[in-house]
Structure 1
Amino acid sequence: MAVAAGRAFLLLPSSACFATSHTNLLKHSFGTTNTSSLVKPGNARGFAQHVARAQVRPTWLPGLDPPAYLDGSLAGDFGFDPLGLGEDPESLRWYVQAELVHCRFAMLGVAGILLTDLLRVTGILSIPVWYNAGAVKYGFANTETLIIVQLLLMGFVETKRYMDFKTPGSQAKDGSFFGLEAALEGLEPGYPGGPLLNPLGLAKDVKNAHDWKLKEIKNGRLAMVAMLGMFVQASVTHAGPVDNLLEHLSDPWHRTIVQTLANSGS
């Protein structure tokens, strides 16, 4: 509604002759007119500019006023917080970092699932479908050893990330990471850099890298939705995403999500 109103105001007359013609029309139609109720050309232009500036900030629902604590300064901030989780500034900082980490894991997960499923379906590699990969016994180490190694490595990384969140920049100081600080160059919480984590040199000035941050968070949110879809898909069809795609393409009019869900309940 606000967008429609904004567009309507932007079409207000910007010339004196246009306003005069409307005044004459009102006189002929009603016999009198109140010129004070008409918007003057200068005021129309100023109001149009004000409305145009107000419409620069996109929101997840057009016309909805975002909460005051979501001022658009965060990457991907479209004013979406129906539960009010970000009212507390400290909680909002944590949720931003948590979303960023989940986005990156989801993007890696989706890429890994699609790649391995493609290699499996084409017969290039003899590997299990992605949701059974965790049950496979690997010859180079037993399951218990793999779990312990993963806990140690992930625990170390997550601890470092939490310490940098609590005290920004503390993990980039000399001696904080076995002398590899120069190779990582911590830029700000959630955005490490250096040749190891930023080999292409993108967004070296992370303070002014809003476009890169926005692209990452958008793709990450899409990946989280895709990951959820793959979970549901595997639970319903007991097949990989490439198998599901090939099955759909074999008969697009009858092998759809509607038929699949209907048959799964029978």
Structure 2
Amino acid sequence: MALAIGRSFTFQPCSLFSNKGVDKTSPVGKYSWLGSDAAAARAGVTQRRRQISVAAQQRPTWLPGLDPPPYLDGTLAGDFGFDPLGLAEDPKSLRWYVQAELVHSRFAMLGVLGILVTDLLRVTGLSKIPVWYEAGAAKYEFANTGTLIIVQLLLMGFAETKRYMDFVSPGSQAKEGSFFGLEASLEGLEPGYPGGPLLNPLGLAKDIKNAHDWKLKEIKNGRLAMVAILGIFVQASVTHVGPIDNLVEHLSNPWHKTIIQTLASSTS
């Protein structure tokens, strides 16, 4: 029996309950009582959710077997689901935290490199430079301390202001006339990833949208550098020497000059 509704279509009540030819074990068969189109749509949603759930379980997390928070979906470089304090729940805050981590990572990498190189030059006697934590108190012949501080504030303040403005309005700092006609030399790729021949002379990751591997390598090295710089701060506070001095002392007697003995002797 068919009931005609207007002239557009016919409605067959028995079709709602007719499951002939439908595999009840399939996603469509499970929802066949909704009708073929609704069942297919419902089955598609269920399948997509299942795929997302499987992908979330398969992606690496900071603790194996841990379910990452739903707002950390793995799309960010270095996202391993670590957010015990829930700081990234707000999308706006998450954008800022990503940029803050990038900047801290880059400063940490530069800091570790600078400390190790200058400490190596000092220990080997190639240069008479002070240990890194006393370098700020040293007097330099080419400029006095006040001049150096003012120049650093001006240069870093200008760079950080430009970076913040680009974060607030992506691409605004690449517009013509925004940097004395030198915009093409900087050519920002996206917030946090400047480019151009000055800041990206090797031309790495020009297609920043598809540079996930490069971003992942940078953030991993940056996080390692932040842990390393913290370790350097702690060893300087405990031993009052540079990291190369500590390494040389350890290598001179590896079984008795370790971090355990060093901490024990410093507290006694």
TM-score normalised by structure 1 residue count: 0.80
Give the Cα–Cα distance (whole angstroms) in 1 for the partners of residues 247 and 144 of structure 2: 34
CA 1:72 to 1:54, structure 2 compared with 1: closer, same or farther past 3 Å? closer
Amino acid in structure 2 at the alignment position of 1:265: T
Mapping of residues 27-176 of structure 1, within 5 Å: 53-176=55-178
Amino acid in structure 2 at the alignment position of 1:178: F
Give the Cα–Cα distance (whole angstroms) in 2 for the partners of residues 86 and 123 of structure 1: 48
- After TM superposition, the structure 1 stretch with the greater mean CA deviation from structure 2, 139-148 or 246-255, is 139-148
The secondary structure found in structure 1 opposite 2:146 is: helix
Give the Cα–Cα distance (whole angstroms) in 2 for the partners of residues 230 and 53 of structure 1: 38
In structure 1, the partner of 2:251 is 249
Residue deviations 1:191-242 (CA, integer Å, cap 9, x gap): 0101111111110000000000000000000000000000000000011111
Give the Cα–Cα distance (whole angstroms) in 2 for the partners of residues 85 and 156 of structure 1: 29
Contact 2:56 2:68 in 1 (8 A): no
Q: 1:233 aligns with which of 223, 232, 235?
A: 235
Residue deviations 1:36-82 (CA, integer Å, cap 9, x gap): xxxxxxxxxxxxx9997454311001111111111101000000000
Amino acid in structure 2 at the alignment position of 1:111: L
Q: Would you identify which runs of 4 or more consecutive aligned residues in structure 1 move more than 6 Å?
A: 49-52
Contact 2:186 2:197 in 1 (8 A): yes
Q: 1:198 aligns with which of 194, 197, 200?
A: 200
In structure 1, the partner of 2:219 is 217
Q: Whose radius of gyration is greater, 1 or 2?
A: 2
Equivalenced residues, count: 218
Structure 2 segments unaligned to the other structure (5+ residues): 1-50
Displacement, 1:261? Answer: 0.4
Give the Cα–Cα distance (whole angstroms) in 2 for the partners of residues 237 and 54 of structure 1: 45
In structure 2, the partner of 1:41 is none
Q: Among the aligned pairs, what percent are the same residue?
A: 84
Give the Cα–Cα distance (whole angstroms) in 2 for the partners of residues 140 and 192 of structure 1: 31
TM-score normalised by structure 2 residue count: 0.79
Contact 2:56 2:67 in 1 (8 A): no
